[in-house]
């Protein structure tokens, strides 16, 4: 088993460019030793007039951001943290499913490179051994006449020491994986989606590897916790939940938690 050189950066730009192959054409690739957040940097680039496609990678982030205003723990050497910036040529509504499609791209890339099958917790968290190993933050920004999407991905490869508040939920892949090859494989998958945003070829995998379908889930609506059974995922990636009044609730975005059957609110 290949051993990582102590303190060596996890992502090597040359290896990444090689792994990207033809997918590199026209793409701006930047690798930062340290940055506040690759999503924030993508926003700065868009505001400064960047148009096109960029792949921004950080060895570590000092202010990594997660969904719902949370922070994302991004230590050096034990994870990958990167953002894809893409200027849309189509209306933003064509990209609504990107957040779900991106989780499938990550799941497939991990499976291809390691054989590990992760599970998707709606909307787009990836779990392995019942711990969250990947989070995705998708943002849309308008700058001048242009609209951009930013897909930020953080994967814990072999992070062992998490801050106390994360130890119960966060885990790592703990596989011998080439970080540059992983990023390239994910980039390929997401690019395929961005080229054909109406193609729902990712949906079957999104449903098949969902860890919430058929389970009792809780979500919050106007400050009130609701409980229901996650019944289906529709064509747009929205979650259909049968609530306690036996009607179907459609969640487009937000957050759910899994609840054991015996659990009371
Ligand atoms: C979440 O789990 O809530 C989403 C986490 C997204 C983290 C990634 S790491 C790369 C990119 N830069 C950020 O600041 N966030 C995303």
Measured CA to CA, the distance from residue 245 to residue 202 in angstroms comes to 32
Lowest mean pLDDT across 10-14, 91-95, 142-146: 91-95
Is residue 103 within 8 A of residue 152, CB to CB? The reply is no
Peptide bond into 123 cis (omega under 30): yes
The per-residue pLDDT for range 211-221, each reduced to its tens digit, is 999 999 999 98
Measured CA to CA, the distance from residue 250 to residue 3 in angstroms comes to 47
What's this model's pTM, rounded to 2 decimal places? 0.94
Measured CA to CA, the distance from residue 53 to residue 61 in angstroms comes to 21
Lowest mean pLDDT across 119-123, 158-162, 194-198: 194-198
Ligand 1 center from residue 166 Cα (angstroms): 15
The per-residue pLDDT for range 155-194, each reduced to its tens digit, is 999 999 999 999 999 999 999 899 999 999 999 999 999 9
**Strand locations in 13-145 (E):** 27-32, 53-58, 79-87, 119-121, 125-128, 131-143
Q: Which of 153, 179, 255 for mutating ligand 1's site (highest number of atoms within 8 Å of CB)? A: 153
Ligand 1 center from residue 169 Cα (angstroms): 16
The per-residue pLDDT for range 34-62, each reduced to its tens digit, is 999 999 999 999 999 999 999 999 999 99
Is residue 45 within 8 A of residue 22, CB to CB? The reply is no
**Quick one: which atom of ligand 1 is closest to the CA of 66?**
3
Is residue 81 within 8 A of residue 57, CB to CB? The reply is yes
């Amino acid at each position: 088993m290949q051993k990582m050189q102590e303190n060596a950066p996890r992502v090597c730009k040359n290896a990444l460019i090689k792994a990207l192959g033809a997918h590199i054409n026209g793409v701006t690739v930047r690798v930062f030793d340290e940055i506040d957040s690759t999503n924030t940097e993508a926003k700065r680039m868009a505001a400064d007039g960047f148009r096109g496609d960029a792949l921004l990678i950080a060895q570590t982030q000092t202010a990594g951001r997660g969904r719902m205003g949370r922070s994302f723990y991004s230590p050096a050497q034990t994870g990958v943290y990167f953002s894809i910036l893409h200027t849309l040529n189509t209306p933003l509504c064509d990209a609504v499913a990107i957040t779900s499609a991106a989780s499938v791209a990550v799941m497939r890339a991990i499976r291809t490179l390691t054989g590990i099958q992760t599970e998707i917790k709606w909307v787009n968290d990836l779990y392995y051994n019942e711990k969250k190993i990947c989070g995705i933050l998708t943002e849309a920004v308008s700058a001048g006449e242009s609209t951009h999407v930013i897909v930020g991905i953080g994967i814990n490869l072999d992070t062992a020491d998490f801050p106390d508040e994360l130890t119960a939920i966060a885990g790592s892949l703990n596989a011998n994986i080439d970080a540059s090859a992983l990023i390239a494989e994910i980039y390929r998958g997401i690019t395929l989606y961005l080229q054909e945003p109406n193609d729902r070829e990712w949906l079957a995998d999104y449903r098949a590897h969902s860890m919430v379908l058929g389970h009792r889930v809780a979500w919050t609506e106007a400050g009130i916790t609701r409980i229901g059974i996650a019944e289906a995922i529709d064509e747009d990636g929205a979650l259909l939940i049968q609530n306690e009044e036996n009607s179907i609730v459609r969640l487009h975005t937000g957050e759910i938690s899994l609840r054991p059957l015996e659990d009371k609110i």
